[in-house]
């Protein structure tokens, strides 16, 4: 039997591979809907952290505020985000996703094969095992997000 260290190393390598594959999958989906991967990820960040200002989005994306301005301009032209004046501070502009049922449906359809494959694999595990996987994955996601943010604040 493998040692715990060997298993943890193996799991770490598997998560790194999953990260790479996720990036490639995101690129493919973004391309299918006419966005760059960075633009697609920016929309996802806006959706999860709304309302968000351009500076916060730039920090989360690891881009300059100038680069974010161009991305937000393109996203606004594409009809996927809107700029709204912050009612608490009229000097600030907040970004919010635009609910577009047609685009959302297309994205759902593009993710459907991955979801189906995922569900097929998960059928092999007990609810308790899946619960453990959810817990581990959520904790690793939180740790990863915190590390990314700490790296970007330097």
Q: Domain 4-123 belongs to what architecture? A: Orthogonal Bundle (1.10)
63 three-class SS: coil
Angle (nearest 5°) at CA 45 between 145 and 109: 115
17 three-class SS: helix
pLDDT digits (tens, 9 = 90+) for 84-116: 998 888 888 899 999 888 888 998 899 999 999
Q: Where are the domains of the chain?
A: 4-123
For residue 78, which phi and psi values (nearest 5 degrees)? -75, -10
The encoded tokens of residue 122 equal: 């998960």
Confidence of residue 154 (pLDDT cuts 50, 70, 90): low
pLDDT digits (tens, 9 = 90+) for 110-149: 999 999 999 999 999 999 999 999 999 999 999 998 998 8
Q: In whole angstroms, what is the distance from residue 14 CA to residue 12 CA?
A: 5
Percent above pLDDT 70 for the chain? 99
Confidence of residue 20 (pLDDT cuts 50, 70, 90): very high
96 three-class SS: strand
């Amino acid at each position: 039997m493998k040692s715990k260290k060997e298993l943890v190393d193996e799991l770490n390598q598997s998560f790194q591979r999953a990260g790479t594959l996720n990036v490639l999958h995101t690129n493919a989906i973004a391309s299918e809907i006419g966005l760059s991967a960075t633009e697609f990820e920016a929309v996802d960040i806006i959706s999860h952290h709304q309302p968000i200002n351009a500076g916060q989005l730039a920090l989360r994306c690891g881009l300059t505020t100038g680069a974010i301005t161009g991305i937000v301009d393109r996203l606004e032209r594409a009809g996927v985000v809107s700029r709204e004046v912050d009612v608490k501070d009229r000097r600030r502009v907040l970004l919010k996703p635009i609910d577009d049922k047609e685009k959302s449906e297309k994205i759902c359809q593009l993710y459907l094969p991955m979801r189906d494959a995922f569900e097929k694999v998960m059928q092999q595990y007990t609810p308790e095992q899946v619960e453990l996987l959810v817990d581990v994955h959520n904790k690793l996601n939180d740790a990863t997000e915190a590390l990314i943010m700490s790296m970007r604040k330097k």
